Amino acid sequence: MTAITGHISAIKRPGELGVHSLDHHALIAPDLARAAEFYGSFGLDTKTVGNQLELYTPGNAHCWARIGEAGKKQLYYLSFGAYAEDMPAFRKRLADLGVELLPAPKGFESNGLWFRDPDGLLIEIRAAEKTSPTEKAPFACPSSGPNERGALPRKRTPVARPRRFSHLAMYCRDMDRSIAFYEKALGLRLADRAESIICFLYGIHGSDHHMLALITSNGSGLHHSSWDMGSVQNIGLGAMEMSRKGHKRGWGLGRHVLGSNYFHYVRDPWGSYAEYTADMDYVPVDRDWKTEFHDGEDSFYLWAGDPPDDFARNFEAE
């Protein structure tokens, strides 16, 4: 087994046990070549390692996602990062909760803790360097001065590419059950909830408003992965580039209510989405977010066009 070592940050909530990051996630897709084209066009760096495709943000050596090839698209597992000194306490907590530990999936070398969530999705907690932000991410909104041009000609516009992975939204069967599991087992906390439609969970050691969102459905599955762009301008440039390359289906530009982030979603070849995002609310390490319960109709988006009719359809459960 390959030893995994952790990075102990000076920024950590004392006396609290919780994961600090959604380190990476894994998918299965029917066609790796199509996956490489989609995510490469989206602005990510792709790398083929063995029989898998790995996703990176430019200039960052951290692998944010792994994609294997099989007959149908599927969310395969989530890997959460924790501080190395907290791993024994996580092992004890899972035992106290009666959670069965599993061996790592075949082909994955890991000494993390593997188990399944209430919907059967594989989850890992591993000692890892913190990849969630330690402060609110910078947000750019530049303006031109008098007698200055504010926009470049299109042919001179640079390609906009994601800065980092932001969060993941997935489906679950029973929201109350899933919230309880992720709070008790992983130490995540509820930020906001819209009826039994969607909820948002954050990390206690400093994270965006949510690193994980849960959407009620008839089974597990990926709704979207989200990638920070740093500005509305870069969201728009990314969306235009994807449309130019044939990926026209999606939703945006808009602004969410819960999390407050600006967004544009691009539909992937298998019915889920990749989201460009910017300026999400942030929960510092020494604070708790004031959890609120919202009316679904009033808390989906502040402004945007109408979402696609099948925006919340879980194709993996069909």
Residue 282 lies in a domain: yes
d(CA 215, CA 175): 7
d(CA 271, CA 310): 9
d(CA 53, CA 260): 32
* pLDDT by position in tens, the chain (length 318): 333 444 444 589 999 999 999 999 999 999 999 999 999 999 999 999 989 999 999 999 999 999 999 989 999 999 999 999 999 999 999 999 999 999 998 877 788 999 999 999 999 999 999 999 999 989 988 888 886 887 878 888 888 999 999 999 999 999 999 999 999 999 999 999 999 999 999 999 999 999 999 999 999 999 999 999 999 999 999 999 999 999 999 999 999 999 999 999 999 999 999 999 999 999 999 999 999 999 988 899 999 999 999 999 999 988
Residues 186, 101: one domain? no
Residues 182, 82: one domain? no
pTM beyond cutoff 0.75: yes
Torsion, CA 37, CA 43, CA 49, CA 51, rounded to 10: -30
d(CA 295, CA 194): 6
Characterize the bridge pairing of strands 221-228 and 273-278: parallel
Characterize the bridge pairing of strands 189-194 and 292-294: parallel
pLDDT given for residue 149 in this prediction: 82
Residues 300, 246: one domain? yes
Residues of the domain holding 32: 21-127
Containing 182, the helix (H) or strand (E) segment is helix 175-186
* Adjacency order of strands within the sheet including 74-82: 45-49, 52-56, 65-69, 21-29, 74-82, 122-127, 113-116
Residue 134 lies in a domain: no
Residue 6 lies in a domain: no
What's the CATH code of the domain at 193?
3.10.180.10
Check if the beta carbon of residue 207 is closer than 8 Å to that of residue 283.
yes
Domains: count for the chain: 2
Residue 132 lies in a domain: no
Residue 109 lies in a domain: yes
3-state secondary structure of 176: helix
